[in-house]
A and B are shown apart, each in its own frame.
Chain A
Amino acid sequence: MIVQEPVQAAIWHCLNHYDFSDAIFLSERLYAEVKTDDSLFLLATTYYRSGQIDHAYYILKDKSTMSSQCRYLLSSCAFEMQKYAEAEMALTDTLVIKSTNFEEIIEEYEDQASFALLLLAKISAKTGRRQQAIDAYKRALKINPFLWSCFESMCNMGEKPNASTYFQLSELENLNQCHGKNLSNIESVVLTCNQTNTPIQENQAYITTPQQIFSNTYAPVNNINPTKICTPEDSPLANPLCLSGFSMLPSSRIKLPRFKMIDSLNTTSPATTPSFGHIVDDFMSTPNIHSQPNFVEVTEQKSFTKKMRSHVGNLLVRKEAILQNSKPVFSQTGNVNNTIPMTPSTPATVSSGPNVRRSSRLFSNSYSVKENNKSPNRNKFATPKSPSRKTKQRLAKCSLNDFNSYMDLNTKNRLKKEKSETVTSAELKTNSAITNLSANSNSNATQLQKQSAEGLMCLLRDMGQAYLHMSQYNCKLAIEELNQLPPHQFQTTWVYSMLGLAYFEMTDYENAVKHFSEIRSREPYRIKHMDIYSTSLWHLQKEVTLSALAQDLLQLNKNSAVTWIVSGNCFSLHKEHDTAIKFLHRAVQVDPTLPYAYTLLGHEYITTEELDKAMSCYRNAIRLDPRHYNAWFGIGTIYSKQERYHLAEINYNKALSINPHSSVILCHIGVVQHSLKKIEKALSTLNSAIAKESKNPLCKFHRASIYFAIGGHTEALKELEELKDIVPKESLVYYLTGKVHKKLGNTDLALMHFSWATDLDPKGASGQIKEAFDPSIGRTAADTDSPASPPVEEYPSEGNSVHHDNTAFSALQEDSDDSL
C-alpha cells in the first residue's frame, strides 16, 4: 500500500481546491515542524498562489542552499516584484548569464527547464539584453513546444521565428518537459497489459486504491462506452500508480467509465472530431478484451464496438468527405505515459521496494499539477480541426474502432472545457514480462502522446504563422492565414481579436469594429484588445458606441488599464481633452508597463498643445516597446507641429520601418517632404501610398494639393474629380477645387465650388474660411496661399457675407501673421 505523508497531501489538496487560507495555515505548521526544502517550497507556493508574492519572496530569499524548485519559485517572485538582478541570481547563481549557460540550466532544472528558460528570457528582455532573451525563448520553445508565449514574445520583439520549425514534437524524445511529472485532473489512458489474471492480482499490491484514481465527479453517461478512463485524482498519488506500470487495475475496483457528455448523445456531426484533447491509442485494433474478463466494460465494449462498426461506413464516408485531410488524431493527454518513459527500470523495481520508492517520490515530487501545467490546457481543445496540411495517412492508421467511438463521443465535446473524454481502451499487446512491456511501451507511449498532441501543434503552427505576419504588419497575409483555421478554432475570441487587430492596422476600421463587436456580443467580459476597439471607434467617430463601451468596462473592471484607456478615448472623442488626460493618467498608474497608454496620453497632450509633455510620453512608450510605431509617429507629429520637418521625416521613417504597409504614415511623409520642398520625393511617396492602400483618400487629396502648388492644375483637377466620386461630401475637396479654378481664372467654377464647400460645411471645420464672393473677382495673384496650408479665411456664413465684405481683403493678406 502506498502511504503518503498526509499533511503534505492535505495541503496540496487544499491548494488544488483553491482553499488558500487553510493551505497557508497548514503549511506554516508543517514548516515549523519539519524544516525541509520541500516544506519550505510548499509554504512559499501557498503564499504565491494566494497572491502574497512578496511574502513568498521574503521567506525564500535568505536561504542558502535550495532545491531547484525553490530557486525557480524565488526567481519568479523576484521577477514579479521587479527585482530583476535577484531573479537572475536566484535562477542561475550568477549575476550575468550567458547563452552558453543554458545547457547548465537545462540540466539543473530538468522538467522545469523550459519554464526556467522562459523566466530567464523575460528577465533578459526587461533588462535590455534582447539577443539573450531571444536565445532563451528559442531554447525554451525547443524543449517545450507548448509554450506559445515564447513565440509570441519573440514576434513582439521583432524576431521572425518560423512557426513550423518551432511547433514540432518530433524532435523531442519525451514529453517530460512539456507536462512534468505530476498530473492531475488530466485525462489519461491506462495502457493495460493483456495479461492473465494472476499478474493482475499480483500487481494489485502496487496499486493505490482506484478511488483515488478515478475521478468521482463525472456522471455516468453511457455504459456502452468501452473505455476505461483514468483520471488521477489531484494528488501526487497518481504518480505512484502510474509508475507502477500503467496497468493492472483490479477490475473489481474499477468504476465504470464515467463521462460527462456535453451534448446529447445522439447528435453526431462528423465534421467536429477534435484533433487534440483526446488520446487515441494507435495500438488498438479490434478490441481483444476477451482476455480480461475482469473488466466489466470489456463485454460492453465489444457489443458497443459491434454496434459502432455498423455505423462506420456512414460516418467514415461522411467524415472523409468533409474533412478531406483531417487529422485523425483523437488524442487525449496521457498522464500515464509520461511516467512510462521516465525510467524503464522503475517497473522492474516496483516489485522490490515499492514503499521506499514511492515515499521518496512523494516527498520529492510534490508538485501540484497546476504549477507544471503551464502549457495550454490541451484537454480543453475538444474541437475538431481540419487543417489542409495533414495527410490522409494518419486517417488510415486509426482503427475503425477508435474512429467510431470518437465520432459519437467527440461531437459532444465541442468547445466545452470539460475533461470528459472517452478513451478507447488501450490494448497493449506486449510480452508477458513487465519489463519488456515497459521497454516497448515507453517509446510507444511517447509516440502515442506525440500523436495526441500533434493536432495542437498543427494548430499552433498555423496560428504562429498568422501571429508572425501580424507582428510584421503583413495584415493581409495574417488575415488569410487566420481564415484558414478550422471553424471551431476560428470562432474563438483570440482569432477574432487577431482579425480585428489586422483590420485595424490596415486602417480598415469598419471591419475591425465588426469583429470587435462580435467579440463583445460573445464575451462581454473580455477586456483584452478593447483598447484597440475603442481607437477604431474613435477613428470612426462613433460616440455612442464608444461611450457605451466605456461605461461597460468601467462597471466590469476598474483595475484594468484598458478600461481607463477606453474612457480616455471616449472623452477625447467628445473633445474633453483634460478629462481624457486625467483618465489616461489613471491608465498609466494602473499599469506602468503598457506602452499604448503613454502613446494615447501623448496624442492628447499634442491636442492641448503641451508638446513637451507629449514628447516625454512618447519616449516612455518607446522605452517600453521600441516597436510601438504609434509612438514614433507621434514624435514625428510633434516635430511637424514645430515645423522641424527634417526631424519629423526621420521619425516618420522610423515608424514606417516598423510598419511598412501603412498608407497613413506614407501620406504624412509625403506632406512633410512637400514642406521641405522635396517635391519629387513627395509625389513618389504619395504614389506608393496610393498603391498600397487605394482606399485612403487623403493621399490623393494631398497629391492634388501638391500638384496645385507646383502648378500642375490639370493633374490636380483630375485627382479632385476622382475624389469627388469617392467621397462626395468632403468640403475641403470642393474648396481645393475652387482654389484651383480660381488660379486658372475660372471664377464662376471657383465660386460654384466654394459655395458647395460652404454648403457642406457651414461652420468651416478648417477654420473660418472667408471667401467673399465679390472680392474674389477682383483678386490678383496677391493671395499667397500655399495649398499645404489653407489660409486663414472664413467661409461666408449664411447671414454674414455683408459683414465680412469689408474685412475680406485685409484678412486674406495676413496669412503669415500668426506664425510662431
Chain B
Amino acid sequence: MSIKPEPDPVKNERSGKVREVGCHAIWSLSSCKPGFGVDQLRDERCDTYWQSDGQLPHLVNIQFQRKTTVSDIYIYTDYKLDESYTPSRISIRVGTHFNDLQEIEVIILSEPSDGVSGWVHIPIKDLSEKPIRMFMVQIAVTSNHQNGRDTHMRQIKIHSPSEENHNVAINNFNNFSTVDFQQFATIR
C-alpha cells in the first residue's frame, strides 16, 4: 500500500502558486451550535470546530463577490477526536447562486487511519482538468461516520491559482525562474 504524502495546504500557499481566497468570500452555514460557527471554521486553528445543529445534509455555503477560479478545497477533520461527528460523505456543489448549484464532486472518507493530520484534499476541476470558475461553492455533508446526526468540521481552505489570466501582458513579468531575470521584472 503506497503511502501518499499528506496534503498540506499551507505549503502550497507558501509556494506562491495558489492563494487562499476564502477571505474574499461570504460564508454561511445551514446550522450551528452557538460558539461553534463560521469563526471557528476559519480561524486557522485545528482545535476549534464548527458543530452543526440541524438535519442532514449540513451545508457550508461560500459565496464570492467575483467569479473566482477555485482549484482546491481542503477540509480538516479529525476522526480520533470527533468519531461519529466526522463526516463520511461530502458533496461539493458549485454554481452561481443557491438555486443554480451543480454537484461536481463526491468524496467518501473512510476512517482515516490514526496519526493522520486530517486534511482532506478535494481537487476542483472540470472535465478538462482545469480549475472551475464559480460564484458559489457549497460543501454538503451528506452522512457522518457511525451514522452520526451532527458533524464537526475543524478547518476549511479554498485555493485559487495565482495565475488567473494568461493573456494579460503583465503576466509576462511574473514567472521567471532566475533571480537575475526576476529582479528586473517590476518596480516595487
Contact = CB atoms under 8 A, between A and B. Distances in A.
Nearest to A762: B177
B19 A541 contact: no
Interface stretch (B52-60, B83-91, B136-144, B180-188): B180-188
A455 interface: no
B69 interface: yes
B15 to A, nearest CB: 7
A643 interface: yes
Interface string B162-182: 111111111111011111111
Contacts of B69: 818
Contact of B178 (A538, A600, A730, A814): A730
B63 to A, nearest CB: 17
Interface string A565-580: 0000000001111100
Interface in B115-172: 128-130, 133, 162-172
A76 to B, nearest CB: 36
Given A507-B184, A575-B16, A603-B188, A730 B169 contact: no
A575 B177 contact: no
B81 interface: no
A727 interface: yes
Interface in A562-598: 574-578
B105 interface: no
A470 B6 CA distance: 53
Nearest to B162: A607
Interface in A778-799: 786, 788-792
Nearest to A535: B188
Interface stretch (A149-157, A384-392, A662-670): A662-670
Interface in A592-620: 600, 603, 607-610
B175 A765 contact: yes
Contacts of A671: 169-170, 172-173
A25 B23 CA distance: 54
A540 B181 CA distance: 10
Contacts of B173: 668, 671, 698
B170 A541 contact: no
B82 interface: no
B169 A788 contact: yes
The winner among B13, B15, B165 for most chain A CB atoms within 10 A is: B165
A637 interface: yes
Interface residues of B, number: 39
B14 interface: yes
Contacts of B188: 535, 538-539, 600, 603, 630
A710 B180 CA distance: 27
Interface string B10-30: 000111100110011000000
Given A662-B187, A818-B133, A810 B128 contact: yes
Given A766-B175, A767-B175, A818 B183 contact: no
A648 B173 CA distance: 15
A662 B184 CA distance: 10
Interface in A121-177: none
Nearest to A600: B188
B172 A641 contact: no
Nearest to B127: A810
A698 B181 contact: yes
B130 A818 contact: yes
B185 A698 contact: yes
A761 interface: yes
A754 to B, nearest CB: 14
B11 to A, nearest CB: 11
Contact of A819 (B130, B167, B175): B167
Nearest to A608: B19
A243 interface: no
Contacts of A814: 128, 130
Interface in A500-542: 507, 509, 535, 538-541
B184 A663 contact: yes
Interface residues of A, number: 71
Interface string A261-298: 00000000000000000000000000000000000000
A790 B16 contact: no
Contacts of B180: 697, 727, 729-730
A79 interface: no
Contact of A640 (B15, B133, B170, B178): B170
Nearest to B133: A818
B170 A575 contact: no
A674 interface: yes
B95 to A, nearest CB: 18
A643 B168 contact: yes
Contacts of A811: 128-129
The winner among B165, B181, B185 for most chain A CB atoms within 10 A is: B181
B184 A732 contact: no
Nearest to B183: A539
A645 B169 contact: yes
B177 A760 contact: yes
A351 interface: no
Contacts of B186: 633, 637, 664, 668
Contacts of B181: 697-698, 701, 727, 730, 732
Nearest to A731: B177
B187 A789 contact: no
B166 A791 contact: yes
A608 B164 CA distance: 11
Nearest to B181: A730
Contact of A698 (B20, B23, B163, B184): B184
B65 to A, nearest CB: 10
Interface string A699-741: 0011001000000000000000000000101111000000000
A761 B170 contact: no
A132 to B, nearest CB: 32
B166 A807 contact: no
Contact of A761 (B163, B169, B177, B184): B177
A557 interface: no
Contact of A507 (B169, B176, B183): B183
A747 interface: no
B187 A633 contact: yes
A818 B164 CA distance: 8
Contact of B172 (A633, A634, A655, A789): A789
Interface in B66-94: 69
B184 A697 contact: yes
A765 B177 contact: yes
Interface string A633-654: 1100100110101001000000
A575 B13 contact: yes
A815 interface: yes
Contact of B182 (A541, A574, A760, A820): A541
B22 to A, nearest CB: 11
B170 A820 contact: no
Contact of B169 (A540, A574, A674): A674
Nearest to B169: A675
A671 B166 CA distance: 14
Contacts of A810: 128
B184 A807 contact: no
A820 B165 contact: yes
12 contacts: A578-B23, A603-B188, A609-B19, A637-B170, A637-B186, A641-B168, A668-B173, A697-B181, A727-B180, A729-B180, A765-B176, A789-B166
Closest 3 pairs (CB-CB, A-B): A766-B175, A575-B16, A761-B177
Given A730-B177, A817-B130, 17 more contacts: A541-B182, A575-B16, A629-B187, A645-B169, A667-B184, A671-B169, A675-B169, A697-B180, A730-B178, A731-B177, A731-B178, A786-B167, A790-B166, A791-B166, A807-B128, A818-B166, A820-B165
